[in-house]
Amino acid sequence: MNWIRTSIGEGGRIVIPAEFRKALHLKPGDVVMVGLEDDEIRIQSIREAIRRAQEMVREVVPKGRSLVDELIAERRREAARE
């Protein structure tokens, strides 16, 4: 892991070093996810957070199963009962 020294400014702000922003394709105004894990602050791009979430879902949802289709069917059944 690369480490670069930085400091915490007013209001708890921290500057993400340019080489890290470039590696993550982050631009001013981009939204990032910030997490605390094992006494470390971790920052990830929204793209990476989505990719990891999709990977987690793929591990528990069998291939060929559509959660979207199941949700639509469930909503239609509920609407028919009303």
Number of domains in the chain: 1
Residue 4 lies in a domain: no
Domain encompassing residue 29: 10-81
pLDDT at 1 over 90: no
DSSP string, 6-57: --B-GGG-BPPPHHHHHHHT--TT--EEEEEETTEEEEEEHHHHHHHHHHHH
pLDDT digits (tens, 9 = 90+) for 13-66: 999 999 999 998 999 999 999 999 999 999 999 999 999 999 999 999 998 999
User: Which pTM was predicted?
Assistant: 0.62
| Residue 5: inside a domain | no
The CATH number for 54's domain is 2.10.260
Task: Report yes or no on 3 lying in a domain.
Answer: no
Say which residues have a Cβ less than 8 Å from residue 8's Cβ, sequence separation at least 6: 14
17 is a domain residue = yes
In a domain, 48, yes or no: yes
DSSP 61: S
Q: Kindly state whether residue 47 falls inside one of the protein's structural domains.
A: yes
